[in-house]
Amino acid sequence: MKQYKNVFVFNHPLIKHKIAILRDKNTGMKEFRELIEEITTVMTYESMGDVELIPVEVETPLEVTTQYKVPEESIAIVPILRAGLGMVNGVHKVFPTAKVGHIGMYRNEETLEPQPYYCKLPDGIENKTVFLVDPMLATGGSACDALAVLKKRGCKKIKFMAIIAAPEGVEKVAAAHPDVPVYISTLDRGLNEHGYILPGLGDAGDRLYGTK
């Protein structure tokens, strides 16, 4: 795959370890959900190296000092339903008061085109750093459309996080939204004829919620 300056693949050994368990078809729903959450928390730390800090006065037991904090009201989380919901708690571990918007999309199983069915975003989202989250970036259709929705709403600072990505999806998002940094935990080989990522982990929504 071509190199993109705004695409970041985490090759952290502990993320690799957790993804090995996540992929295993024998990993049950509870453990799968916990792993998605844990990986998302690590990814949130890794992707926030450029976060804006504000100075605050802190009184230690010894003296007053100027320290730096993230203004939590500057962060919003937007999962792409359903599977993106599994990542929300992982970001909330780092930013517990971040507001959450929801974008509902499902893929048409034949055309693989994303079908939008729901959108509710918090007021003022256009002034926040928005984490758009979805564990799977396959053809890239869902992510591209969700990014277009956020931009239409006026969002200017968006970070997209996906746990497993196919090169096809990365290329599509990087070409359509070169201004959006894309953070992924692992880059897989490609897609099968049904648009599933290989080796992948199967259907993330079904594994998170016990459907099918």
The residues of the shown chain that bind ligand PRP, judged by CB under 6 A, are 80-83, 105-107, 112, 114, 134, 136-143, 169, 195, 203-205
Question: 99: how many CB neighbours lie within 10 A of its CB?
Answer: 18
Interface mask (CB under 6 A) for ligand URA, residues 124-143, using x and -?
A: ------------x-x-----
- Is 111 labeled as catalytic in the residue annotation? yes
140 binds, among ligand URA, ligand PRP, none (CB under 5 to 8 A by kind): ligand PRP
For helices 167-176 and 141-152, the axis angle rounded to 10 degrees is 20
CA angle, 107 then 111 then 116, to 5°: 35
CA distances from 33 to 38, 47, 64, 195 (A): 9, 21, 42, 23
101 binds, among ligand PRP, ligand URA, none (CB under 5 to 8 A by kind): none
As a whole number of angstroms, the distance between CA 179 and CA 172 comes to 13
Contact 91, 97 (CB under 8 A): no
90 binds, among ligand URA, ligand PRP, none (CB under 5 to 8 A by kind): none
Among the listed ranges 15-23, 68-76, 115-123, 196-204, the one in contact with ligand URA (CB under 6 A) is: 196-204
Mention every residue, 6+ apart, whose C-beta is less than 8 A from residue 10.
42, 43, 46, 183, 184, 185, 186
- Is 206 labeled as catalytic in the residue annotation? yes
Q: To 10 degrees, the CA torsion angle through 144, 147, 153, 159?
A: -170
As a whole number of angstroms, the distance between CA 78 and CA 157 comes to 13
The least CB distance from residue 122 to ligand URA, in Å, is 26
The least CB distance from residue 126 to ligand PRP, in Å, is 23
Among the listed ranges 11-19, 46-54, 97-105, 190-198, the one in contact with ligand URA (CB under 6 A) is: 190-198
The least CB distance from residue 188 to ligand URA, in Å, is 8
Q: Is 169 in the site for ligand URA (CB under 6 A)?
A: no
**Contact residues: ligand URA, CB under 6 A:** 83, 136, 138, 195-197, 200, 203-205
Residues marked active site are found at 107, 111, 203, 206
